[in-house]
Structure 1
Amino acid sequence: MKFKTPIHKTLLVFTFLFTLVSCGSGEPDVAQPGPAAIEFFEAIYNKQNLDQALKLATPQYGRILSHYHTAQRVQSVLFNRRYDKDKVEIEEDKGLRGQSLLSENAKRATVSLMLDGTYEGNRHRDLKHVVMVKQQGRWLVDKLKADVYR
């Protein structure tokens, strides 16, 4: 392909860069409660990045999380479950139909997540019920519901 002027080259390069930047923003999907909750637990368990998890939590819950200082402490003390790094499978339990039943105007939602992984060679599966709230168009983790079986 031959360009007639340097402006055409420059325009093509800027178009390419804009497309590349907009496709790979790296921002988590917080437009739906399920993916936002999964991203939160990915940050805690697989990435072990408490700062990233704090961005996906409400300010009130973020203050609670920050008191533990590390993702490992949040795992063991607050969530009562440790897993080996990079080995936790996290998926949303969407019920019988395989889809979320949520109104567009909803401001609160409860998401059920299944965590499956190993710790020191032993397999652990855990079900977490996460209360999500919508703030400024983003779904954020507000709290975890207490496990009634513990």
Structure 2
Amino acid sequence: MTVVPIDHATRACPDSMNSVLGKVRSILEAFTADDDSLSLADVVRRSGVAKATVHRLSQELVAWGLLERAGCNYRLGLRLFEIGQRVHRQRILREVAQPYMEDLLLATRETIHFAIHDGLDVVYLEKILPHRG
């Protein structure tokens, strides 16, 4: 059995840069939760993909709604969110957690966040705000 090390900067296997999908993955993962938008140069630097390839693939990703143009910059598109909402496991977790979150909201009258740990990241699945008068 061969173990392939994972490059934690891009979360991609080293050989994945040889395929179009590997390059698209690197482009999409160039964006962090702290980024509103990135310039083409930033995407190139973070992804490690050639500038001409990033430009060409980004145009297709914009056409598909996976990326959006923000002036001269790019940002992640709403289509990614729409696709993410289809993840069955996420829906099940939210449905199971919902009554407990509502109980906690009633008890604390504070904002309730539901998140899961994903490696070094946290993925927020739900947020309930209290009604304040």
* TM-score relative to the length of structure 1: 0.23
Q: Which has the higher strand share?
A: 1
Q: Give the greater-gyration-radius structure (CA).
A: 1
Higher relative contact order (CA 8 A, sep 6+): 1
Q: Which has the higher helix share?
A: 2
* TM-score relative to the length of structure 2: 0.25
